[in-house]
């Protein structure tokens, strides 16, 4: 036993002595290396927390070092917060005696929540520095965040702590009705371009009222939020053509995360929903992105006029239309989990010079779906009185980008004139005889590449090498394209007039 005890004690001594070097540190000499000398936190709205940003610190010396202090220059008053290798320090602001082993690194994760009043009034930038050590050994990494002021619209809180609700399709959802005489915001039915708007929950348009969006208006929807146009209510989007890539005159609907990481993530907010009884809508120069369903249209008693509109990155549908009447031109839709355009339960539709593409990363999505039925509806079938596509492009990454769901118990009337269509599989189905079925198909260009400029960036411009170049019928020509450029005759197919791409 004495022999085993001696071996045990010797083992403890050896283990202890071998670990002691981990605790033998020298003071930092100011020679730390950083992954960045400035950390730019993307634009955030006032008082909304940012994403988390990363900074890596390197000790390239042969010694384990101790950094006496890591802190924000503004100390405990800083609007930034950080963790240092998982430690939270003093309120995420000040850390003392931070150990960094030889030839090793540590991570700092940084966030911010700031008000517009915290920012520099000249450029709306909020800045600070992370300081490492002090005196002669002081090293600093700059932090920069753009704070954007906004109008915030959200449901009120009831006395019992629950949120205000509105009814959509018979269900209570978190929401509120826009007030044209709001004590804080003034006329909430007029969205101007003076400040962006951030909406929490569903913003409802009251009965017999019209919500108007001026050119250049920016609307940001929080998660699970949207816009609801109720019975006898109307929507007018009055965007105009822009001259720069900033889309300065477009009306833009998107999520409320402004960081570049979120710029193309689908499903960040819900939808723009039009009730069955809504009326008198006009949409011009709208850019809508990253919703679940972009435009959810339902109203058999009304015509939706949609022009010069772009819809991208929707988790389910770009446009979902149910038993309604749509007249649309210069529409571009791409990236939708189910269909870029889905017209179901019948209706009456006319699309001219539109580009329906779907490059969603699966094999089950389509660019265009047409149906005259709806499971669970009463009755389950409804006449598709017209679905006309003139001078359009229907394309994408799947084998077949055009789907007809035809129920024989109701009329199903459709026609494609001078369209470029992707449908690669050979089939004897009489619905897809694009060359011989002259009742439904005229001058179809089948499975030829339109050569879009950059699909991944949602740029669907074409040039003279495109199979869509000068293949349109002048009878259906819309005089200007989605950018306001004059079309030539014969016109190109799709929403864009061809032009030379930048080199």
Instruction: Quote the CA–CA distance of 104 and 440 in Å, as a whole number.
Output: 69
Q: Which DSSP category does 37 fall into?
A: S
CA-wise closest residue to 179 among 161, 203, 149, 202:
203
Q: Which DSSP category does 224 fall into?
A: T
Residues with Cβ within 8 Å of residue 498, at least 6 apart in sequence: 461, 462, 463, 464, 466, 468, 469, 470, 492
Instruction: Quote the CA–CA distance of 239 and 112 in Å, as a whole number.
Output: 33
Return the bridge partners of 254, or none. Answer: 220
Q: Which DSSP category does 440 fall into?
A: T
The structure tokens listed for 466 are 């495109």
Categorise residue 290: left if φ over 0, alpha if ψ from -120 to 50, beta otherwise: left
Other CB atoms within a 10 A radius of the CB of residue 271 amount to: 24
Q: What element of type H or E holds 196? A: none
pLDDT at 157: 86
Instruction: Quote the CA–CA distance of 437 and 404 in Å, as a whole number.
Output: 14
User: Domain 24-148 carries which CATH code?
Assistant: 2.60.40.10
Q: Are strands 293-298 and 317-336 parallel, antiparallel or unpaired?
A: parallel
Instruction: Quote the CA–CA distance of 454 and 462 in Å, as a whole number.
Output: 9
From first to last of the 503 residues of the chain, give the pLDDT tens digit: 445 544 444 454 444 444 434 457 888 889 999 999 999 999 999 999 999 999 999 999 999 999 999 999 999 999 999 999 999 999 999 999 999 999 999 999 999 999 999 999 988 999 999 999 999 999 999 999 999 999 999 999 888 888 899 999 999 999 999 999 999 999 999 999 999 999 999 999 999 999 999 999 999 999 999 999 999 999 999 999 998 889 999 999 999 999 888 999 999 999 999 999 999 999 999 999 999 999 999 888 788 999 999 999 999 999 999 999 999 999 999 999 999 999 999 999 999 999 999 999 887 899 999 999 999 999 999 999 999 999 999 999 999 999 999 999 999 999 999 999 999 888 889 999 999 999 999 999 999 999 999 999 999 999 999 999 999 999 999 999 999 999 999 999 999 999 887 65
- The vertex-234 CA angle with 228 and 238, nearest 5°, equals 100
Q: Which DSSP category does 186 fall into?
A: B
Give the pLDDT confidence of 21-65 residue by residue, as tens digits.
Answer: 445 788 888 999 999 999 999 999 999 999 999 999 999 999 999
CA of residue 149 relative to chain centroid, distance = 20
Number of separate helices (H) and strands (E) present in the chain:
1, 37
Q: Where are the domains of the chain?
A: 24-148, 151-476
User: 379: cis peptide before it, omega within 30°?
Assistant: yes
CA-wise closest residue to 460 among 328, 335, 324, 300:
335
Residues with Cβ within 8 Å of residue 26, at least 6 apart in sequence: 63, 64, 65, 66
pLDDT at 20: 37
């Amino acid at each position: 036993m004495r022999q085993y005890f001696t071996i045990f004690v010797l083992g403890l001594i050896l283990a202890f002595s071998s670990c002691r070097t981990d605790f033998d540190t020298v003071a930092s000499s100011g020679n730390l290396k950083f992954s960045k000398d400035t950390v730019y936190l993307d634009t955030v709205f006032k008082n909304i927390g940012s994403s988390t940003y990363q900074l890596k610190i390197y000790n390239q010396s042969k010694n384990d070092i101790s950094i006496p202090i890591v802190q924000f220059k503004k100390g405990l008053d800083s609007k930034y917060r950080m963790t240092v290798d998982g430690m939270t320090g003093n309120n995420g602001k000040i850390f003392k005696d931070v150990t960094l082993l030889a030839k090793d690194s540590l991570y700092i994760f940084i966030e911010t929540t700031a008000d517009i009043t915290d920012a520099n009034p000249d450029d709306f930038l909020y800045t600070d520095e992370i300081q490492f050590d002090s005196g002669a050994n002081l090293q600093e990494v700059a932090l920069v965040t753009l704070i954007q002021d906004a109008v915030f619209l959200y449901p009120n809180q009831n006395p019992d702590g629950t949120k205000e609700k509105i009814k959509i399709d018979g269900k209570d959802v978190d929401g509120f009705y826009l007030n044209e005489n709001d004590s804080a915001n003034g006329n909430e039915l007029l969205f101007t371009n003076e400040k962006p708007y951030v909406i929490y929950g569903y913003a409802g348009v009251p009965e017999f009222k019209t919500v108007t969006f001026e050119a250049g208006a920016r609307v940001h929807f929080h998660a699970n939020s949207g816009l609801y146009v109720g019975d006898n209510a109307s929507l007018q989007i009055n965007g105009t053509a822009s001259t720069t890539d900033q889309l300065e005159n477009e009306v833009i609907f998107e999520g409320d995360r402004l960081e570049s990481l979120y710029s193309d993530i689908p499903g960040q907010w819900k939808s723009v929903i039009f009730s069955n009884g809504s009326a008198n809508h006009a949409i011009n120069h709208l850019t809508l992105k990253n919703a679940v369903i972009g435009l959810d249209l339902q109203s058999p008693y009304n015509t939706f006029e949609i022009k010069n509109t772009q819809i991208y990155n929707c988790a389910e549908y770009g446009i979902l239309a149910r038993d309604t009447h749509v007249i649309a031109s210069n529409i571009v839709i791409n990236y939708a989990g189910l269909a870029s355009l889905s017209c179901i339960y019948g209706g009456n539709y006319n699309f001219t010079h539109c580009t329906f593409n779907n490059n969603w990363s699966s094999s089950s999505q389509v660019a265009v779906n047409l149906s005259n039925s709806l499971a669970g509806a009463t009755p389950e079938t409804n006449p598709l009185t017209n679905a006309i596509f003139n001078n359009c492009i229907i394309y994408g990454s799947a084998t077949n980008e055009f789907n007809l769901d035809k129920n024989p118990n109701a009329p199903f009337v459709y026609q494609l004139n001078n369209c470029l269509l992707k449908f690669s599989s050979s089939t004897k189905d009489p619905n897809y005889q694009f060359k011989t079925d002259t009742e439904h198909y005229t001058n179809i260009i089948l499975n030829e590449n339109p050569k879009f400029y950059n699909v991944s960036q949602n740029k669907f411009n074409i040039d003279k090498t495109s199979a869509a170049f000068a293949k349109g019928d002048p009878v259906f020509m819309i005089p200007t394209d989605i950018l306001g450029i004059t079309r030539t005759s014969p016109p190109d197919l799709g929403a864009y007039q061809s032009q030379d791409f930048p080199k």
